[in-house]
Amino acid sequence: MPSGPPVALSTASVYPEPTPAAFELAAELGYDGVELMVWNDPVSQDVAAVSRLSRQYGVPVLAVHAPCLAVTQRVWGSDPIGRIRRSVTAAAEWGASTVVLHPPFRWQRRYAGLFADEVARAGEAAGVALAVENMFPVSRAGVRSVPYAPGFDPTEVGHRHYTLDLSHTAASGVDALAMLDRMGPALKHLHLTDGSGAPRDEHLVPGRGSQPCAEVCQRIADSDFDGVVVLEISTRRCRTRYERAALLAESLLFARLHLQPTGTRQARPRVVEPAR
């Protein structure tokens, strides 16, 4: 395996192709594994089917993205706490070390009240880290609103583990390096992608937008980061498998290039969780 942290492909990066295509492309292009997005694709919800794909292609599941999108509120049941626990069980079955979670939506009031405590303890027995992801406001007709409770920046609450998404920092107008520092050693997971700064979630190939993708990678490579870097880009406009593979290969090359340690270790800022 190349030096630096493992680099995985999000199965969402091959949409609208189905989950098996992600395993096939990850194997062909030399990714170290996949992040399994659990969503409306029936294969992604089937633990046994995913295990078979992993064995078939020799591609491990390194992380699981829980079904917490607006369009996946009925995947694995209607209870969001139940979905977290099922995601942890699936991750343990696949040997994945991390479950990625979004903050609750504002309309999920009961869930929002339980979220922090559930995230703190849900993966303890299974040895799975639950990494809460930074999100972004939504703009409609020029009006900007935050659909998440208590907000889109999980560091304002304080969690044991975080996921940093660079498309989301772009869409929210947040300084990605400052957020990296706030997450500090609690950073467990990176969604390596890019954005132009437009108020929408673009998931560009890293290096094609405005985010400091290379510097984030270098800081991680020179730190004690022990998580996974995941390429989560949008290829939905690709007309052929060849075009999709070219974008995914470019993204992997960017990651490998900028995740090489320089030999200069940098301690990440210590973060103290707010008292609850």
CA distance 240 to 256: 25
Structure tokens given for 256? 């490998």
**Spans in the chain with pLDDT lower than 70:** 1-2, 265-276
**CA dihedral defined by 252, 258, 262, 265, rounded to 10 degrees?**
-100
pLDDT for residue 266: 62
As beta bridge partners, residue 99 has 64, 130
Which domains does the chain show, CATH number per domain? 7-258 (3.20.20.150)
* Residue 261: C-alpha distances to residues 72, 73, 178, 211, 252 (Å): 38, 40, 21, 20, 16
CA distance 91 to 86: 9
CA distance 207 to 271: 29
pLDDT for residue 223: 96
| CB-based contact 230:191 (threshold 8 Å) | yes
Could you give phi then psi for residue 119, rounded to 5 degrees?
Answer: -65, -35
Structure tokens given for 215? 């510097």
For 29, the 3-state DSSP assignment is: helix
